[in-house]
């Protein structure tokens, strides 16, 4: 395998042990010691320490990979895969940027649909090899196409603490557990399917703070190449917050400007890995929940969102300590926007209960190419 500093000349310098390399990493990255200080601590030359720290500071790319798999006979009952940790296929020309880390997962497993006739009758040896080689990256290098969203493996839950309306109106008793969303079926996108989305681009898929639910296709069109997903919580300045509310539009007061709902949505710097950050609309909700699209002069029927409980996570649907409702990006019969109203489990015109200057929650939705969703 070519080292990541393969563009440097080969010079002799005193060997650095694994233990010393670990100490250098801690002192340099955590304790912020200088190269000179580290050299003195390890009784090495400063040049040696500098060369060690600079190792791996160039971009590399996959030059070749050799994957010796199972035999045709073994393929009847075994699968052998080598992918990145999120399931992305390893391929030539993929870029490994300086200081970037990637986890590769080797998986050998029995097939689920095999019969006894497919299994070996004698002891069998597996001879599996995998070799991944890197060279310095050039203009042909391509970024690894990791998915933006992948299916959740666990679901969010809350406890019903309401005695009437809200979750009680959906049939829950006090103390019952409410489970939000679905784990879904591979290859199919359905309303309420739970996903963890790497919106901040850190390579992680945080099931607590990066949880989203599939609503529908773009603008309610299920055939669209884009998927609309809604966040699990309201936000304040782009951060999860189910206790604060904001007017729909900003307005001025003697004490200053009161920011509106759109100012609370995550910015491109907070969620750089996605585009189309906005609000839920009636057309999207209608497509997902089978709602009637009308002028919404008042409200829909009680419980029309019972089939889409994921829209009411982190609202007063479960507990009075949360915000009761949040804004939609669609106006009703007049000029006031619609809201998701947890008390009666429906979408209603905010003009019927205070209008656009009342403080309500702000819940973002994102639009993601379906090709960038692992489902």
Residues 228 and 347 in one domain: yes
Say whether pLDDT at 287 is over 60.
yes
Number of domain units in the chain: 3
Instruction: Give the pLDDT confidence score for residue 173 in this predicted structure.
Output: 96
Question: What pLDDT band is residue 1 in, cutting at 50, 70 and 90?
Answer: very low
Check: CB of residue 276 under 8 Å from CB of residue 226.
yes
Cβ atoms within 10 Å, residue 374: 16
184 and 204 within one domain: yes
Q: Which domain holds residue 20?
A: 1-58
Question: 195-205 pLDDT, tens per residue?
Answer: 999 999 888 89
Note whether residue 253 is domain-resident: yes
- 284 with 308, same domain? yes
User: Is position 83 within any domain?
Assistant: yes
According to DSSP, residue 317 is labeled T
Cβ proximity of 180 and 156 under 8 Å: yes
What's the Cα-to-Cα distance from 297 to each of 74, 93, 359, rounded to whole Å?
65, 57, 20
Same domain, yes or no: 130 and 162: no
Same domain, 21 and 81: no
Tokens of 148: 């933006």
For the cut 80, the answer to whether the pLDDT of residue 54 exceeds it is no
pTM (2 decimals)? 0.69
Q: Please identify, among 32, 58, 84, the residue that sits at the C-terminal boundary of a domain.
A: 58
Distance CA 336, CA 349 (A): 7
The pLDDT tens digits of the residues spanning 315-335 come to 999 999 888 899 998 876 667
Cα–Cα distance, 324 to 328 (Å, whole number)? 14
Burial (CB count <10 Å: 0-12, 13-18, 19+), residue 274: buried
pLDDT at 4: 33
- Examine residue 196 and state whether it is found in any structural domain, yes or no: yes
**Residue 318 and residue 227 in one domain:** yes
Give the residue among 63, 66, 74, 72 at the shortest CA–CA distance from 120. 74
Measure the CA–CA gap between 106 and 92, rounded to whole angstroms.
17
Range from 111-115, 208-212, 240-244, 269-273 carrying the lowest mean pLDDT: 111-115
- Rounded to whole angstroms, the Cα distance separating 1 from 48 reads 22
Q: Is 65 within 8 Å of 129 (Cβ atoms)?
A: no
In angstroms, the CA 212 to CA 310 distance is: 9
Tell me, yes or no, whether 12 lies in a domain. yes
142: in domain: no
CB 5 within 8 A of CB 57: yes
Answer whether residue 18 shows pLDDT above 70.
Answer: yes
Q: Is 262 found in the same domain as 196?
A: yes
Q: In this structure, are 354 and 253 located in the same domain? A: yes
> Is 1 domain-assigned?
yes
Residue-wise pLDDT tens digits, 60-74: 889 888 888 788 888
The neighbour count for residue 261, using CB atoms within 10 Å, is: 25
Query: What is the pairing mode between strands 149-151 and 373-374?
Result: parallel
Residue after which a domain boundary falls, among 107, 136, 165: 136
Say whether both 68 and 50 belong to one domain: no
Confirm whether 319 is domain-assigned: yes
Q: What is the pLDDT of residue 5?
A: 37
Domain boundary residue, one of 105, 136, 167: 136
- The pLDDT value recorded for residue 79 is 86
What local confidence, expressed as pLDDT, does residue 178 receive?
97
- pLDDT at position 368 is 94
- 40 and 97 share one domain: no
Name, of 97-111, 128-142, 221-235, the range with top average pLDDT: 221-235
Percentage with pLDDT > 70 across the chain: 93
Minimum mean pLDDT range among 275-279, 314-318, 363-367: 275-279
CB atoms within 10 A of CB 47: 13
Residue 87, pLDDT > 60, answer: yes
Least confident of 256-260, 301-305, 361-365: 256-260
Residue 11 pLDDT > 50, yes or no? no
% of the chain surpassing 90 pLDDT: 43
Residue 321 structure tokens: 């300590």
The highest-confidence range among 9-18, 39-48, 182-191, 273-282, by mean pLDDT, is 182-191
Per-residue pLDDT at 124: 85
CA distance 244 to 149: 27
Residue whose C-alpha is closest to residue 109's, from 91, 123, 126, 121: 126
Q: Are strands 235-236 and 239-240 parallel, antiparallel or unpaired?
A: antiparallel
Q: Flag whether 28 is in a domain.
A: yes
Is 113 in the same domain as 254? no
Distance (Å) of CA 303 to CA 166, 236, 251, 330: 9, 28, 33, 20
- On whether both 69 and 28 belong to a single domain, the answer is no
Q: What is the dihedral of CA 300, 302, 305, 306, to 10 degrees?
A: -160
């Amino acid at each position: 395998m070519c080292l990541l500093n393969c563009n440097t000349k080969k010079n002799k310098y005193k060997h650095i042990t694994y233990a010393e390399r670990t100490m250098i990493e801690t002192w340099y990255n955590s304790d912020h010691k200088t190269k000179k200080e580290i050299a003195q601590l390890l009784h090495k030359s400063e040049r040696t320490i500098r060369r060690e720290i600079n190792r791996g500071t160039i971009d590399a790319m996959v030059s070749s990979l050799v994957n010796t798999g199972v035999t045709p006979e073994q393929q009847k009952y075994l699968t052998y895969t080598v992918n990145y940790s999120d399931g992305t296929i390893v391929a030539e020309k993929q870029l490994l940027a300086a200081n970037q880390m990637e986890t590769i997962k080797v998986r050998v497993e029995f097939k689920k649909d095999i019969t006894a006739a497919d299994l070996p009758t004698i002891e069998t040896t597996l001879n599996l090899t995998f070799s991944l080689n890197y060279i310095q990256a050039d203009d042909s290098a391509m970024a690894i196409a990791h998915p933006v969203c992948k299916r959740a493996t666990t679901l969010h839950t809350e406890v019903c603490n309401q005695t009437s309306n809200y979750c009680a109106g959906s049939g829950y008793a006090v103390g019952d557990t409410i489970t939000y969303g679905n784990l879904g079926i591979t290859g199919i996108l359905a309303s309420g399917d739970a996903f963890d989305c790497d919106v901040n681009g850190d390579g992680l898929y945080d099931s607590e703070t990066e949880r989203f639910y599939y609503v529908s296709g773009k603008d309610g069109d299920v055939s669209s190449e884009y998927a609309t997903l809604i966040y699990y919580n309201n936000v304040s300045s782009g951060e999860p917050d189910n206790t604060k509310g904001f007017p729909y539009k900003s307005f001025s007061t003697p004490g200053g400007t009161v920011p509106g709902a759109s100012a609370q949505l995550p910015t491109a710097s907070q969620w750089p890995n996605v585009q189309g950050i906005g609000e839920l609309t009636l057309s999207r909700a209608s497509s997902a929940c089978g709602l009637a699209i009308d002028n919404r002069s008042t409200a829909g029927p009680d419980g029309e969102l019972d089939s889409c409980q994921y829209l009411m996570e982190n609202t007063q649907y479960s507990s009075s300590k949360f915000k009761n409702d949040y804004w939609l990006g669609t106006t009703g019969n007049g000029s006031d926007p619609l809201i998701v109203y947890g008390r009666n489990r429906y979408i209603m015109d905010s003009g019927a209960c205070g209008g656009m200057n009342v403080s309500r929650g702000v819940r973002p939705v994102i639009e993601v190419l379906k090709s960038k969703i692992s489902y």
